[in-house]
Structure 1
């Protein structure tokens, strides 16, 4: 059984926009605070805007350690700047050449991935690291926080791909969905729920499709 050390850094994927319901922002803040409380470093895309800015600033304010990874083109346009990003010590920004290097670096530094709601970039990142587990490039959890049922359509898409013979049933389990209680009046701490899903994760497959080695 494959598990991930509890002290491993966690990579958070999420939007550079805040979304249009307060539950999205509250979940980002909750996740940042939970990472700090558990002494798990945060690795993320380096933006100071939207949900990315909220999860990173809340982690920093709670005493957490943050590493932002951002391409040069974005850094020079003003991304990754602001009040919270002037803090020293537990906040680090790594500037890379392009988006491909950014995603590779984020994956290399992290023991797992947690996704809040986001747009095209977030969805692409989710599927890429999930594909890497399927292929055997790495074996790490990919946890989706289904805030306000945001990821219900994605879950249905995966189920459709399984039913249509494009994804093996065991590989569908490479994505872990964290849902709110059925009783909408019952509160949920999204940060704590994410960490519980991470701690309870084990690989649903014994090995990926290929054995990767250097030539």
Structure 2
């Protein structure tokens, strides 16, 4: 079920992407500019009638992007990984409690680590499946500021593009220079011979959401070339697939 359409007063533009996957932090960060940029991105997705695919969280920047897109009337699809640790003590406690009181101890009840979410929520078995499903259902990827998880997701999408597993645009919203050090590391990799010049061009970088989405959409137009901003690589992994060969 989509959110209530609150965008009637906003001019709507039909985007070239149907769904965009957004990677971002489960925390809001210390600067208000991070939240402002997240809300701006959400509004731009709504203006272009682009649905959201994301990690299913309800707090931090994840909560902001999902609530903004959902309240704007677009579909939100979140993938949640639920991890449960069960010890021998918990199992014994479960057996005793169930035999005596017919209740299940709270220690064995499933709790989503991200809390309540909006839109459509799907659970996955592990983190790899989470990334795989998000990538499979998106036409492009955007990374906002975030921690290790956000950076890992961004780097995996860049790597998959390099290997030819997908040819979808990968964008980085560099709010207040948050990713300057990471981008400098990419440049160092090129300088030291670990990253090809062509591979360095995979990620699209912008300081504002409007500029980022517009740049990413350029290569999707009729007659446009994807290599305008995403390098074309030898297909090391030519099949577009998301499962890992066993």
Q: Paired residue for 1:66, among 73, 76, 84?
A: 76
RMSD (Å), alpha carbons: 1.9
1:197 matches 2:225? no
Query: Normalising to structure 2: TM-score of the pair?
Result: 0.74
Structure 2 CA distance for partners of 1:32 and 1:212, relative to 1, 3 Å: same
- The structure showing larger relative contact order (alpha-carbon pairs under 8 Å, at least 6 residues apart) is 1
Where does structure 1 differ by over 6 angstroms across 4 or more consecutive aligned residues? none
CA distance in 2, matches of 1:208, 1:49: 40
Match of 2:35 in 1: 25
Preserved contact between residue 42 and residue 67 of structure 1 (Cα < 8 Å): yes
Aligned residues: 194
Quote how far apart the aligned CAs of 1:209 are: 4.3
Looking at structure 1, the residues matched to 171 and 179 of structure 2 have their Cα atoms a distance apart, in angstroms, of: 11
TM-score of the superposition, structure 1-length normalised?
Answer: 0.84
Aligned to 1:119: 147
Q: What are structure 2's unaligned runs of at least 5 residues?
A: 1-14, 85-109, 220-225
Q: Match for residue 184 of structure 1?
A: none
The whole-number CA distance in structure 1 between the counterparts of 2:115 and 2:43 is: 19
Distance 1:146 1:25 in 2: 13
Deviation at 1:195, TM superposition (A): 1.6
Q: Displacement, 1:212?
A: 3.2
Native 8 Å contact 2:173 2:209 kept in 1: no
Structure 1 unpaired stretches of 5+: 86-90, 180-189
**Which of 1 and 2 has greater Rg?**
2
Deviates more, 1:49-58 or 1:32-41: 32-41
